[in-house]
Amino acid sequence: MAQPENEAFVFSPKLSQLSALATRYAKPEHSVTHGGHVRTIAAGHYTVTGLSRHVRLGEFVAHRSATGVHLGEVVRVEPDIAYICPIEPGEPIGIHDVVIRKGAFRIAPDDSWCGRTINALGDPIDNGPGMTPGHERRPISTTAPPSMTRRRVDQGFRTGVRAVDIFSPLCLGQRLGIFAGSGVGKSTLLSMLARADAFDKVVIALVGERGREVREFIEDTLGDNMAKSIAVVATSDESPMLRKMAPLTAMTIAEHFRDKGENVLFIADSITRFAHAIREVATAAGEPPIARGYPASVFTELPRLLERAGPGAEGAGTITAIISILVDGDNHNDPIADSVRGILDGHIVLDRSLADEGRYPPINPLTSISRLARKAWTGEQEKLVSRLKALIHRFEETRDLRLIGGYRNGSDPDLDMAIKQVPVIYEILKQSPGDKASNDAYADLAGALKAAASGAQGGARQRG
Ligand SMILES: Nc1ncnc2c1ncn2[C@@H]1O[C@H](COP(=O)(O)OP(=O)(O)OP(=O)(O)O)[C@@H](O)[C@H]1O
Ligand SMILES: [Mg+2]
């Protein structure tokens, strides 16, 4: 029989197992444990009576079933009923099962977590020993530091990827998105950027990836950097709740290191799959869709997560966030891409046509923008890049004309220059994960242009 709301569940000794779990999450002031009972069960969620007055949206509950204790998140609260999304798929839930409140989900990151791979709940998945908890337990769902207390972002750093360092240079504490359709090269570029040596720590959230790619990313990509990295993984077959929590857990770990004064790189691959997970959870909770099937909560959760990246207060370090965004059917204006672009301090656009030509990383230098590039460039570099972009633009807009033989060399000095230099620029921008990181992208470019010019002069002298 359903428990009336005002007869809150009375805590009994047989629930000692649940209680022990609950103390891991609840604050000391929550010494009174509130409980309720399962009332209805549906695909993706169940409802509980007796908890509505005691729980808040986003809090966790523990549910005891025949197979043990399972966690769930409160996704909707009505006067007599709380809607819960279970964390684990396929958890056996029975009518009238006992459910107790656990409060906000917290993790206690520790320096010893470096080099480890964990799941969204903070438990190890790398066959290593249990995780040692740190001193501070932090809620994974929290707000960003107040904007006026944060340091300004003005210190550039080198990524080692020439196409980024020349055309869209980045600053510590910047938030950058890599936008592309499927299979164009997002994960590969992220893995190359993860090796930048400007960071003390790298925290990676792999959300909705294929299981095969996870080991590849962690072992091949991080390599020597693994000692200063922590990976939080929720693969595509895990529940939407775990996929939704993985970036939050990763960001909480990044905040731990930032607050110690370190410069942290936060990587999320992909943020679109995080948005899909929020959509799945919200749909199960009955939230109506507002844009292409996405409910409003997606558009509040995305900035909530991304705003947490950035510089910390004076004395704290920075979180530089680089995230990938899968654009639906190569449509760069889908609601998630649009919403995320507005939150970020820059976006790198990968073009399928460049990938088809084998020009990896397929970064389009004309449509990619770093809004903080001016702080990273010298005045001279800024002028040079604007000149390079003009040449590339001229080269691309006359491509068809030149292909049909509609241009005669010598008629336009700017175009002649573009025809000579742009293929050299394209060549120097090519880089694979196996190639050495560039120590000075401008020097590499200058060297290539000089070599091409002297080669051309030599050829002209020989012909003469
Ligand atoms: N810099 C590069 N050098 C050489 N090959 C590359 C490079 N980047 C990507 N590729 C090729 O493109 C393929 C797809 O790349 P990747 O897995 O990074 O794409 P993705 O955009 O992350 O795909 P998905 O949308 O499926 O996650 C790789 O398997 C590789 O063959
Ligand atoms: Mg990928």
Give the nearest ligand 1 atom to 190 CA.
18
165, 378 contact by CB (below 8 A)? no
Report residue 282's pLDDT band, with 50, 70 and 90 as the boundaries.
Answer: confident
pLDDT in tens, 3-34: 333 333 334 434 444 444 544 554 444 445 78
Rounded distance from Cα 189 to ligand 1 centre (Å)? 8
Please state, in angstroms and rounded to a whole number, the distance separating the CA atoms of residues 79 and 75: 14
Residue 101, pLDDT above cutoff 60 = yes
Closest CA to 69 of 37, 100, 36, 43: 100
Report residue 461's pLDDT band, with 50, 70 and 90 as the boundaries.
Answer: low
Please state, in angstroms and rounded to a whole number, the distance separating the CA atoms of residues 424 and 378: 23
Rounded distance from Cα 202 to ligand 1 centre (Å)? 21
pLDDT in tens, 163-205: 999 999 999 999 999 999 989 999 999 989 988 889 999 999 9
pLDDT in tens, 408-458: 777 778 888 888 889 999 999 999 988 888 888 888 888 888 887 776 665
Give the nearest ligand 1 atom to 326 CA.
25
Give Cα 217 distance to the centre of its chain: 14
Q: Is-cis flag, bond preceding 270, omega within 30?
A: yes
Report residue 220's pLDDT band, with 50, 70 and 90 as the boundaries.
Answer: confident
pTM: 0.87
Tell me the average pLDDT of the chain: 85
pLDDT given for residue 54 in this prediction: 86
Q: Where are the alpha helices (DSSP H) in 365-433?
A: 373-376, 379-397, 399-403, 413-429
Query: Who lines ligand 1 at CB under 6 A?
Result: 180, 182-188, 326, 360-361, 432-433
Please state, in angstroms and rounded to a whole number, the distance separating the CA atoms of residues 176 and 261: 21
Q: Which of 8-17, 353-362, 380-389 has the lowest mean pLDDT?
A: 8-17
